[in-house]
Every structure is written in structure tokens, then in C-alpha cells.
Structure 1
Amino acid sequence: MYDLHTHTILSDGELLPTELVRRAAVLGYETLAVTDHADASNLRHLVEAVSSVRESARCYGVGLLVGVELTHVPPSLIPAFARDAKKFGADIVVVHGETVVEPVAPGTNRAACACEYVDVLGHPGLIAIEDARAAAEHGVALEITSRAGHNRTNGHVARVAREAGCLLVIDSDTHAPSDLMSKEGRWAVALGAGLTEAESREALSVDINRLLQK
């Protein structure tokens, strides 16, 4: 199992990175990305802080991905910030998409989908088909999320991704211990988004290394 979108006390989560990793290990996760909310004020710090936990994650048998979630960053600055995150050592860059429950700046989805340094567009809301096609072209995965509120548009995201040929990932956007999903919970989120069983299996078994080596 994998989760490419989680938060710790380094932003607005409840757990230390190591505790989050441990809880994920107990649930059977093989890959976990720690992607705390980032902007210009903390980008380098987050990458350096999470990088220090790699050895602890190895001890628990979890492949830790050091990441950030660029959050409410002006769309015009997303490419530069995503590039900087990778330069600082981030394995994965998530962008906080245009969810319907927050005032995300219009154009955020488009900027993320067209950026070579972005890996996942989190909770992209009512994403436009042309933006989804850009995501498919640039290897940006769209997220199906279990996060309350953000998950209101999962069905739309699934439908648009199917039409555009986008890669889908299933994430929790974990902030609290109870947010981490079991294997059965992940399956339910995928099917609940309107994915077929075959599409669900594909989304739940994404080759993460391939996604990040675009």
C-alpha cells in the first residue's frame, strides 16, 4: 500500500513524522509520503526536517518519500516553487488543488498539471478536462481522496481522469491518526468514487517509482 499525501506537526497534522510512519507500518503501508503544507516560508525546512527521518522509516520497513504540498501558492509561482522543492531534495511534490471547500486561486490546477516538477495534484475539485489532459501529458497524477469535504468531487475527478487518460492515485490527506486508511478502506474509497473494479485495482497498485521518474 502507498499514501502520497499526509501531514504531521510540521504543518497542521497531529503526529510526529516518525509516529505517522509507525502507524502506517502497522497498517501495512510500504510507501508513505510526508507532504506538509509548504510555501516560500518553509519549503527548505520541511524537506530537511523530513529527510532526517529516513533511517527511522527504514527501521519500520516503510519507504519514506520526502515531500511537500504547495498550498495556496499563487499559480504563477508554482513552477518555481516545485522546482526548488526538488532542488532541495524532495522526492515528491503535491499541489493543493482547487478543492470546492477552500478558496484556492483559480488557475492552480492548470499550473500544476502543466508543471514538470509536480507529481500529484491533490483533491483537484471540479477539474476541467483540458487541465486533466495537460496532467496526462506531463505525468501528473490526479488524486482521489478520503478527506472529508475534499472528497465531494471524487466522482467528477474519476470521470474526467478516465476521459483524459490520467493516472489516478488514492490518498488520505492524513492529518490525524484515524485518517490513515486500511486496505479495505482504500478499496471502498476507490469504488465509491465510481471507479470500476479494474480501475480501482490499477489506482491502488500504482508503480510509485515509475510515477516519480517521469
Structure 2
Amino acid sequence: MYDLHTHTILSDGELLPTELVRRAAVLGYDTIAITDHADASNLAHLVEAVGEVRDSAQCYDVDLLVGVELTHVPPSLIPGLARDAKRRGADIVVVHGETVMEPVAPGTNRAACTCDYVDVLGHPGLLSIEDALEAAKRGIALEITSRAGHNRTNGHVVQVAREAGCRLVVDSDTHAPSDLMSKDARWAVALGAGLTEAESREVLSQDIKRLLHL
């Protein structure tokens, strides 16, 4: 089990990084990415801080991925910040997509889908087929989310991903302890988004290191 989109007290979450890792370990996760909200003001700090928790995660048999979620960053600045995150040691860069729930700047999805340093486009809302095709070219995964509100467009994301040949991931966008999904909950989110049983099995059990080229 994996979750590539979680938040801690380093941004707007409720748990310390180690608390999040421990709770995830008890639920059966073997891979967790901590991807707190980032912009130019805190990106360097987040990468350094989460990296300090790797040893704790290993003690709980969890592969901790150091990451950031570029959030409400002007589209023109996304490539530079994504590159900077990777240069500083981030394993994964998520971009806060154009969810229907927030006033994300138009063009954010496009900037993410055309950036070689982005790994996951989180809750991309009503993503266009043109942007999805760009994501497919670069192996950027589109997110199916359990997050309330953001999940309103999961069905659309699945449909566009199928048409464009995009990779998909199922994430929680965890902020609170109760947000982390059980195995059954992950399965329900995948099926509820419109994935078939075979597709769900493939998406939920994929090799994350291979997906992220780690």
C-alpha cells in the first residue's frame, strides 16, 4: 500500500511526520510520501525537515518519500520550483491541480503536465485531454483522491486518463488522522471513481519506485 499525498504540521496537517508514518504503518502501508504545501517561502525547509525522519520511518518498515506539493504557485513558476525541489533532494513533486473546490490559477494543470520535474498532478479537476496527453508523454501520474470535495471529479479524471493513456494513483490528501485510508477504503475509492476491478488492482498495487524512477 502507498499514499503519495499527505500533509503534516509542517503545513496544514494535524500530525508530526513521525506520527503520520506510524499510523500509516499500523494500517499496512509500506510507502508514504509526505508532501506538505510548498511555495518559494518554505520549499527548502520542507525537503530538509522531512528528510530528517527517514530513520524513524525505517524503524517502522515504511519507505518514506520526501516530497512537496506546489500549491497555488503561479503557473509560470512551477517548472523552476519543481526543479529546485528535486535539486534539493525531493523524491516526489506533487502539484496542487485545478480542483473545482479552490481558486487555483488557470494554467496550473498545463504547467504541471508539461514539466519534467513533476511526478503527480493532485486532484486535477476537469482536466483537459490536451493536458492529459502531455502528462502521459512524461509519465506524470494523475491522482484519484479520497479528499472530500476534490473527489467530485474523480470520474472525469479516470475517463480522461484512459483516453490519454495516463498513469493513475489513488491518494488520500491526508490532513487529519482519520484521512488515512484502510485497504478496503482505497479499493472503494478506486472502484467508485469508475475503475474496473482489474484496473483498480493494478493502480493500487503498482511499484511506486518504478513509477517515480527511484
- Structure 2 partner of 1:81: 81
The offset of 1:95, in angstroms, is 0.2
- Structure 2 partner of 1:47: 47
The offset of 1:205, in angstroms, is 1.3
The offset of 1:156, in angstroms, is 0.2
- Structure 1 partner of 2:209: 209
- Structure 2 partner of 1:19: 19
* RMSD over equivalenced CA pairs, Å: 0.7
Structure 1 stretches lacking a partner, 5+ long: none
- Structure 1 partner of 2:37: 37
Q: List per-residue Cα deviations over 1:115-151 (Å, max 9, x = no partner).
A: 1100000000000001001000011000000000000
Matched, 1:98 2:111: no
The offset of 1:75, in angstroms, is 0.4
| Amino acid of the structure 1 residue aligned with 2:102 | E
Q: Counterparts of 1:115 and 1:199 in 2: how far apart (Å)?
A: 26
The alignment partner of 2:5 has SS state of: coil
Q: List per-residue Cα deviations over 1:137-185 (Å, max 9, x = no partner).
A: 0110000000000000000000000110000000000000000000000
Structure 1 segments of 4 or more deviating over 6 A? none
Structure 2 stretches lacking a partner, 5+ long: none
Q: Where does 1:33-182 land on structure 2 (aligned, <5 Å)? A: 33-182=33-182
Per the normalisation by structure 1, the TM-score is 0.99
| Amino acid of the structure 1 residue aligned with 2:186 | R
| Amino acid of the structure 2 residue aligned with 1:83 | R
The alignment partner of 1:5 has SS state of: strand
Q: Counterparts of 1:159 and 1:188 in 2: how far apart (Å)?
A: 17
Q: Counterparts of 2:113 and 2:205 in 1: how far apart (Å)?
A: 22
The offset of 1:207, in angstroms, is 1.4
The offset of 1:66, in angstroms, is 0.2
Per the normalisation by structure 2, the TM-score is 0.99
